[in-house]
Structure 1
């Protein structure tokens, strides 16, 4: 390893600790992540819908394993190309062990019920508890590996190497304040850095660190100074990000075909009609297109226009049309044309689809020395990028936007809201507060120390979007309690969240510690 990158291996804590079985620090990081209870809990956390009965659906654990598999394959392919070696070294390196470890850690912070849970906890964190940076799954993952997990030598995080911590940072900024100037203020912000259009003033829609972990963010990125911009992913993080997109685009479609949700007819109509009438669709202005919202092909045309508005640096109409044709041929007319019946032939069809598409997408990955702001240094080829957009469109249009899924998720949102409210009330009950779960007590103490320090040394980081700044011990304690409740609920599985609310509501006789001690 070059001398200038040796400190990529340094851990936050250099003192003695448990002996790692692995021979190298990066492999040791991988082992620490896999041994974490936060990693084990991902088997009980929703990917899109909760697995139940005999349905073999992906959960956050199986998703993370597949992301790690794909990411390692990409990294090994890149470093095997001697022409890329100088560029990769200049950018800070691309170690397959680092990439694999970061991929295994990237979803540790996902709360119960997946992205729906993330939205609910963010709303509660900001509006109920006044936490300026709210809740974000990527930032929660970073908080776990640096702070709230207790399996590292210092009982504060996992003491992972700087390289692996940096590789987990898909969005290497905080919501509102770091770095300065903040990337959301750029004329063409990086992907995820812009504010939500319906929530101006709230900061970036995606970010990978809370202000409580700002020191960790800056420390682990030190060795990448002047190699990548402050707002750019490291190469290893960019590999992980691409692998996450590939896994999401392929495997979630398999799940919903397997359980009969993804149907041949509507997908075929949408893609086929757009192909037949693409010139007519293109001639509509936006208002006319909106009037045809029930016409097959309209949604796909709307996607094409969004890509032009958002990613003009990459989108090409003819390549987009070719991607639609390929997806129709290989997904619609092949995989979806025969209902899944559990037979050997059906499973083999899954295997062909997944392996073929994975190989094609991984094969298109390349490295740019000077990428556009909406991409990392590692990116898909133009054809593969368009194909991923169409695959993700099929998933969103025909799975995520289904009314029956919305009904299911509204119930989950009410459950999480009620659980947070119940824990907050318990914490404020002076007669019962001393009987809170020990883990919740510890999280309050941890957050209280963090916010006390920030209020004294970096008060600007505690200023909310509306400009208000907490002052006095009571305000700091309130922030700490809010963050502790959010940390606690985010660390539960889907089943634990449901069971805990049942217990707190008096609707079950189950002894709570059977399920809820991490």
Structure 2
């Protein structure tokens, strides 16, 4: 049975892959180390909080009176996990390992999505910056209360977070370098570890080729791309922000290429490549032409979503198998191969959602308001610290050796907040609230 201790996939991993930062016995013999990882992530408070964090549209807003709320970071993570688990299993990865990585990859994202990430990065510019992926590692290895170890100096017990296996932490690491250490772009804002988290980062990367993502992290990364490109497109269409007939118009298409090139595809990509990618999708029988919100149209849209996910996953699976054969592909034994055509099709969907959903005027007004909320909240909380901090973060603040570390404790608390909690705390500390935009 898939996921049991004797499953061939699990047996492909050595003891270094299943090692934990703090050794501990298994309370329930018979489970694999990766099943334990998956269970810890699923039961974590950090995963539950993602239900209140923005994916694209702010949680709690509605496209129609009768409609369900839009996707959140939690629903995105669940969808990413389902896609990644199946793709990973098809390629020989341990499915519990890939699922745990997919579930945890966005845990460090702050309130208000990438907009909040930018606001906190500005506030944190003098203490190492803020990056959602680095925050995820910090949360998994330090902030999420699960396992504690004795302090070598004799102080209070030290948290080791969820104490996940080396392979699981590595699989959840999209950017395996510290700030400023990008292998080709030192100015990149993307990185995977803060300076004071480098010891555990070095531990989880022990034996890994420099700057190279493990195979499971590559599967997670592609599952992430597939999930948000397809589902953001679906949400935009379902909410009425996108008229599919516009995709036939050349002026609209030119705008899509401008959004995509340099952001979702390399800067040297020719618009013709993207035109061909969109045409390939629109020529499929299942493409949701003429979407009008009716029950039949909704069913066709759901089928299109399934077709797109399958198309992108099968493209990667087929190309990777062609390159590496039929064996089990794990850790650093292979690279995930995604055909350029599939990447272009995925990028076009991202650009469509970006142009018609994220770039709407009301969304920009809401994002401007969110940046003000986080900036004012960060200043107010810093001015009152340690009062105002939750007990967990107050203890981190009190134990901090310098002002940089104390500021990081404030940032840690803000990053853990949901959108609604950030607005509520902001209103309480500043004695005034701001509109929600909902």
CA distance 1:330–1:481, change in 2 (3 Å): farther
Is 1:57–2:70 an aligned residue pair? yes
Distance, in Å, in 1 between the alignment partners of 2:35 and 2:390 is 34
- Aligned position for 1:302: 258
Q: Is residue 257–residue 271 contact of structure 2 (8 Å, CA) maintained in 1?
A: no
Aligned to 1:77: 90
User: Which residue of 1 is the match for residue 34 of structure 2?
Assistant: 26
* Aligned positions of 1:175-214 closer than 5 A: 175-176=179-180, 182-184=181-183, 189=184, 194-195=185-186, 203-214=187-198
In 2: Cα distance, 1:257 partner to 1:29 partner: 36
Shift of 1:37: 0.5
* 2:220 paired with 1:240: yes
Post-superposition shift, 1:354? 1.0
Cα distance in structure 1, aligned partners of 2:15 and 2:267: 37
5+ long unaligned stretches in structure 1: 80-93, 177-181, 196-202, 274-294, 370-375, 428-432, 453-475, 509-518
Post-superposition offset of 1:63: 0.3
* Deviation at residue 383 of structure 1 after TM alignment: 2.1
Once the two structures are superposed, the pairs formed by residues 471-482 of structure 1 within 5 Å of their partners are 476=402, 478-482=403-407
For residues 503 and 435 of structure 1, what CA distance do their matches in structure 2 show? 10
Once residues 70 and 320 of structure 1 are traced to their aligned partners in structure 2, the CA distance between those partners, rounded to angstroms, is: 24
Match of 2:142 in 1: 147
Q: Deviations over 1:403-438 (max 9, x none)?
A: 2210111111111111111101112xxxxx556432
1:144 and 1:309, CA in 2 relative to 1: closer, same or farther beyond 3 A? closer
| Distance in 2 between residues matched to 1:494 and 1:396, nearest whole Å | 21
The normalised TM-score by structure 2 is 0.83
Cα pair 2:20 2:165 within 8 Å, conserved:
yes
C-alpha distance in 2 between matches for 1:307 and 1:439: 38
Please state how far the C-alpha of 1:340 moved relative to its aligned partner.
1.6
- CA deviation profile, 1:479-506 (whole Å, cap 9, x unmatched): 1221011100000001101111122233
Q: Are residue 363 (structure 1) and residue 314 (structure 2) matched? A: yes
- Indicate if the aligned counterparts of 2:116 and 2:371 stay in contact, CA closer than 8 A: yes
2:230 to 250, 253, 262: 250
Deviation at 1:362, TM superposition (A): 0.4
Indicate conservation of the 8 Å contact 2:389/2:413, yes or no: no
Residue 379 of structure 2 aligns with which residue?
A: 421
SS in 2 for 1:57: coil
Calculate the TM-score normalised by the size of structure 1: 0.71
Q: Tell whether the 8 Å contact from 1:22 to 1:28 is kept in structure 2 after alignment.
A: no
- Corresponding residue for 1:338? 291
Q: Residue 177 of structure 2 contacts residue 211 of structure 2 at CA under 8 Å; is this kept in 1? A: yes
Q: Does the 8 A contact of 2:109 with 2:132 survive in 1?
A: yes
Contact 2:121/2:130 (CA < 8 Å) preserved in 1?
A: yes
Query: Which segment drifts farther, 50-59 or 27-36?
Result: 50-59
Q: Deviations over 1:163-207 (max 9, x none)?
A: 00111111100112xxxxx334xxxx2xxxx25xxxxxxx43101
Distance of 2:308 and 2:30 partners within structure 1: 33
Q: Following the alignment from structure 2 to structure 1, what is the Cα–Cα distance between the partners of residues 28 and 148? A: 11
C-alpha RMSD over aligned residues: 2.6
SS in 2 for 1:352: helix
**Separation (CA, whole Å) in 2 of partners of 1:421 and 1:45:** 21
> 1:117 aligns to what?
116
Correspondence 1:350 to 2:301? yes
Structure number with greater Rg is 1
Q: 1:57 Cα deviation (Å)? A: 0.8
Q: Within 2, Cα distance between the matches of 1:320 and 1:363?
A: 20
Q: What corresponds to 2:336 in structure 1?
A: 378
CA offsets per residue over residues 430-478 of structure 1, 9 Å max, x none? xxx55643233123145x1xxx4xxxxxxxxxxxxxxxxxxxxxxx2x1
Residue 156 of structure 2 is matched in structure 1 by none
Q: 2:282 aligns with which of 317, 324, 328?
A: 328
| Alpha carbons 1:57, 1:255 under 8 Å: kept | yes
Q: For 1:66, which of 63, 79, 86 is the aligned residue?
A: 79
The answer to which structure has the higher helix fraction is 1
Q: 2:205 aligns with which of 209, 215, 221?
A: 221
CA distance in structure 1 between the partners assigned to 2:117 and 2:160 by the alignment: 24
Question: Does 390-399 or 165-174 show the bigger shift?
Answer: 390-399
Aligned length: 397
Distance (Å, rounded) in 2 between the aligned partners of 1:16 and 1:503 = 44
Structure 2 stretches of 5 or more lacking a match? 1-9, 150-158, 325-333, 434-438
CA distance 1:268–1:404, change in 2 (3 Å): farther
Residue 411 (structure 2) aligned to one of 478, 486, 491 = 486
**Preserved contact between residue 49 and residue 113 of structure 1 (Cα < 8 Å):** no
Q: Is the 8 A contact 2:55 2:73 kept in 1?
A: yes
